[in-house]
């Protein structure tokens, strides 16, 4: 066990230079804070009347996103402000998850824990895969992922008119696969950006946060649909 762990750690040290490793630590620290902010936001929707998911929370999330993207890094001079924008966006994104979480709780509250654990395992596994892969190995996925994203958007719009269960399921599972692909792509892209001098770990953590929430949301829906189908069969 010890030699395996040692070789695993050495693989990271051999693949990633010290500045890149430090940058990734900052990225994942911001990602952790973002997920915690999202959890707080979801709790606000579920357990209080302070703020509910809807038009205001959606507009607020877009405003924080726009503020973050329009505020330059300036070599860390505006770090606290930009982190605040990131947490604001994450918190309101969590509020937006509220209605879905309410439905999941009515079906089976344990699904939330299962989906969270599953999301974490998938995210960590694909992140490690990206870090240990050859340099730039997964970057070729960029064009394919964007094509898939556009295709899924068209499928979702078409299904508004067709109401097809098959299209809905295909969109759901392909969307999950797409988000896993983005974890691979975004992780390697972040590494390459840092190697090229980009130290903006706040924006980089935003990319991974969107991937994480995308996986979590789809796992919630998949597991809930499965539980509801099983209950219908039993009845």
What percent of the chain stands above pLDDT 70? Answer: 94
Q: What is the mean pLDDT of residues 202-214?
A: 96
Q: CB within 8 A of 150, min separation 6: which ones? A: none
Total domains, the chain: 1
Binned at pLDDT 50, 70 and 90, residue 31 comes out as very high
Residue with tokens 């979702």: 156
Asked if residues 132 and 15 have their Cβ atoms less than 8 Å apart, the reply is yes
The mean-pLDDT minimum among 7-16, 82-91, 162-171, 185-194 falls in 7-16
Q: What is the mean pLDDT of residues 181-207?
A: 94
Of the two residues 135 and 38, the one the predictor is more confident about is: 38
Query: From the DSSP assignment, how many helices (H) and strands (E) are in the chain?
Result: 9, 0
Quote the domain boundaries for residue 78.
1-234
Q: Which residues of 99-136 are buried (b: 16+ CB within 10 A; e: fewer)?
A: ebbeebeeeeeebbeebeebbeebbeebbebbbebeee
Q: CB within 8 A of 112, min separation 6: which ones? A: 101, 104, 105, 220
pLDDT of residue 219: 96
Return the number of other C-beta atoms located less than 10 Å from residue 220's C-beta.
22
Q: Rounded to the nearest 5 degrees, what angle is found at the Cα of 153, between the Cα atoms of 68 and 203?
A: 20
pLDDT of residue 163: 83
DSSP per-residue string spanning 143-184 = HHHHHHHHHHHHHHHHHHHH--HHHHHHHHHHHHHHHHHHHH
pLDDT of residue 12: 65
Residues written for the chain:
235
In the predicted structure, residue 122 carries a pLDDT above the cut 80: yes
Q: What confidence tens digit (pLDDT) does each residue in 149-185 have?
A: 999 999 989 888 888 888 889 999 999 999 999 999 9
Binned at pLDDT 50, 70 and 90, residue 51 comes out as confident
pLDDT of residue 10: 64
Return the number of other C-beta atoms located less than 10 Å from residue 13's C-beta.
10
In the predicted structure, residue 84 carries a pLDDT above the cut 90: yes
Residue with tokens 């980089």: 204
In the predicted structure, residue 65 carries a pLDDT above the cut 90: yes
Average pLDDT across the chain, whole number: 90
Asked if residues 166 and 222 have their Cβ atoms less than 8 Å apart, the reply is no
Q: What is the mean pLDDT of residues 2-17?
A: 65
């Amino acid at each position: 066990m010890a030699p395996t762990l040692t070789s695993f750690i050495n693989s990271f040290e051999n693949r990633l230079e010290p500045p890149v490793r430090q940058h990734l630590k900052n990225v994942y620290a911001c990602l952790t804070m973002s997920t915690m902010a999202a959890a707080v936001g979801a709790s606000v929707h579920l357990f209080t009347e302070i703020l509910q998911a809807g038009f205001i929370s959606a507009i607020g999330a877009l405003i924080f996103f726009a503020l973050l993207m329009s505020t330059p890094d300036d070599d860390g001079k505006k770090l606290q402000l930009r982190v605040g924008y990131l947490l604001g966006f994450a918190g309101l994104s969590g509020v937006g998850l509220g209605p879905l979480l309410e439905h999941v709780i009515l079906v089976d509250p344990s699904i939330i824990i299962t989906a969270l654990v599953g999301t974490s395992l998938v995210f960590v596994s694909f992140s490690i895969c990206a870090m240990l892969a050859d340099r730039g190995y997964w970057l070729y996925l960029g064009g394919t992922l964007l094509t898939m994203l556009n295709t899924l958007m068209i499928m979702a719009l078409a299904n508004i008119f067709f109401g097809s269960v098959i299209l809905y399921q295909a969109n759901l599972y392909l969307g999950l696969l797409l988000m896993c692909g983005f974890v691979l792509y975004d992780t390697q892209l972040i590494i390459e950006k840092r190697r090229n001098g980009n130290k903006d770990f706040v924006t980089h953590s935003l990319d991974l946060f969107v991937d994480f929430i995308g996986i979590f949301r789809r796992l919630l829906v998949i597991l809930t649909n499965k539980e509801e189908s099983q209950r219908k069969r039993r009845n």
